[in-house]
Amino acid sequence: MSVRHFLTLLDLSPAELNGLIDRAITLKAMHRRQEPHDFFHGKTLGMIFEKSSTRTRVSFEVAMNHFGGASIFLSPRDTQLGRGEPIEDSARVLSRMVDAVMIRTFSHSTVETFAAHSAVPVINALTDDFHPCQLLADIQTYVEHRGSIQGKRVVWVGDGNNMCNSYINAARQFDFELVVSCPEGYEPRADLVERERGRVTIERDPRKAAEGAQLLVTDVWASMGQEEEQASREKAFADYQVSPALMDCAAAEALFMHCLPAHRGEEISHDMLDDPRAVVWDEAENRLHAQKALLEFLLIGPR
Ligand code: CP
Ligand code: NVA
């Protein structure tokens, strides 16, 4: 069988993704019970980071520790990747030594090129276009708090960025409705919106968008690599802050998520993360459990 990669949520079938969420919940319970699950003795995860990270790095490293395996942090600053060694060559070499590779980078084509030349599974740990690992944690968190997300109304508020694009893929794979509330000029990828016509809509007014929503999600206004646009983005997104007042427009049982890091006073109000509807700390923890399920799936197969 050819090697499986996880570059976007579309690399796994809806049934495989739902199985993975169930497994993440099981692995979390095993971890809570301190039940050993060290299935990966002698296995190594290579972790290439061309952008900063707290949650992604720690969750993958801890996942490999819990599994009895190891991880290697690789930054372009001190590998030949930073000195221009081609991605193709790096993929061929690294995949002869490690058992899986996780990459956080800028262009999505970098992870595609790496995967095309890798003999082992490649995981997208965030590109400019997608952040699929975060979506596994988000869906797990929703399921734990409210049950299946199928048929629910999910509202994305803010920038049509990598997270928003991944929410569009998630809407398709987990079968929910997605409303994107963003200012003009900051829409998610047009091809994705077009592909999911009927399931994904754009509503400029965040209060209207939030009506009847079961989940509200937002993210920073300026993503990594867009730092110089901070000032212009603060102006463009001024009406798109998520606050307890905006949450009040949503359904009574609505939850709030944010992949973090968050900027209080920008995309969220100062009090949003203290609101009981915010489940961001569970969401952050679930990166660990969901990625364990993903690593197992890619290295061993469905459990
Ligand atoms: N949410 C997320 O991916 O966080 P980090 O950038 O800290 O990894
Ligand atoms: N959209 C953000 C997500 C960070 C986890 C970024 O790309 O910087």
38-70 pLDDT, tens digit per residue, is 999 999 999 999 999 999 999 999 999 999 999
The answer to whether the CB of 140 is under 6 A from ligand 1 is: no
> What ligand 1 atom has the least distance to the C-alpha of 58?
8
Which ligand neighbours the alpha carbon of 136 most closely?
A: 1
Which residues, in sequence order, are CB contacts of 190 under 8 Å at separation 6+?
none
Calculate ∠ Cα 294-300-303, nearest 5°: 70
Residue range 4-14: mean pLDDT, rounded: 98
Q: What is the CA(53)–ligand 1 centre distance, in A?
A: 5
- DSSP-based helix, strand, coil % in the chain, nearest 5: 45, 15, 40
Q: How far is CA 63 from the centre of its chain?
A: 16
Three-state DSSP class for residue 180: strand
- Ligand 2: centre distance to CA 292 (Å): 21
CATH 3.40.50.1370 fits 134-277, yes or no: yes
Per-residue model confidence (pLDDT) at position 1: 57
The angle, 0 to 180 degrees and rounded to 10, between the axes of the packed helices 108-116 and 87-94 is 50
Percent of the chain residues topping a pLDDT of 70: 100
In tens, the pLDDT along 212-252 reads 999 999 999 999 999 999 999 999 999 999 999 999 999 99
Q: Is 44 left (phi over 0), alpha (psi -120 to 50) or beta?
A: beta
Q: Quick: pLDDT tens for 250-280.
A: 999 999 999 999 999 999 999 999 999 999 9
Question: Is the Cβ atom of 220 under 6 angstroms away from ligand 2?
Answer: yes
pTM of the model: 0.98
220 Cα: distance to centroid of ligand 2 (angstroms): 7
Mutate to test the pocket of ligand 1, among 124, 140, 260 (most ligand atoms within 8 A of CB): 260
Give the Cα separation of 88 and 154 in Å (integer): 38
pLDDT at 303: 85
CATH class, domain 9-131+284-299, is alpha beta
134-277 matches 9-131+284-299 in CATH topology: yes
Is it the case that residue 169 has pLDDT exceeding 70?
yes
Q: Ligand 1 pocket, 273 CB below 6 A?
A: no
Look-up: residue for tokens 């796994």?
A: 12
Q: How far, in Å, are 8, 164, 203, 246, 280 from residue 215 at the CA level?
A: 21, 13, 15, 12, 12
Closest by CA position to 170, among listed 199, 198, 190, 197: 199
Please report, in angstroms and rounded to a whole number, the separation of the first and last CA atoms in the chain. 17
**Sign, Cα dihedral of 291, 294, 298, 300:** positive
For residue 260, report the distance from its CA to the centre of ligand 2, in Å.
8
CA of 223 to the centre of ligand 2 (A): 5
For residue 97, the number of C-alpha atoms closer than 13 Å in the C-beta half-sphere is: 10
Nearest protein CA to atom 2 of ligand 2, as residue: 223
What is the predicted pLDDT for the residue at 278?
Answer: 99
CA distance 157 to 260: 14
Residue 127 in contact with ligand 1 by CB distance below 6 A: no
Between strands 255-258 and 215-218, the pairing is parallel
- What are the residue boundaries of the structural domains of the chain, listed by start? 9-131+284-299, 134-277
162 lines ligand 1 (CB under 6 A): no
**Rounded-to-integer distance, Cα 232 and Cα 220, Å:** 13
DSSP H helical ranges for the chain: 14-32, 55-66, 87-94, 108-116, 132-146, 162-174, 190-195, 206-210, 230-236, 244-247, 280-299
Would you name the residues annotated as active-site residues?
104, 131, 134, 219, 259, 287
Q: Which ligand approaches the C-alpha of residue 219 most closely?
A: 2
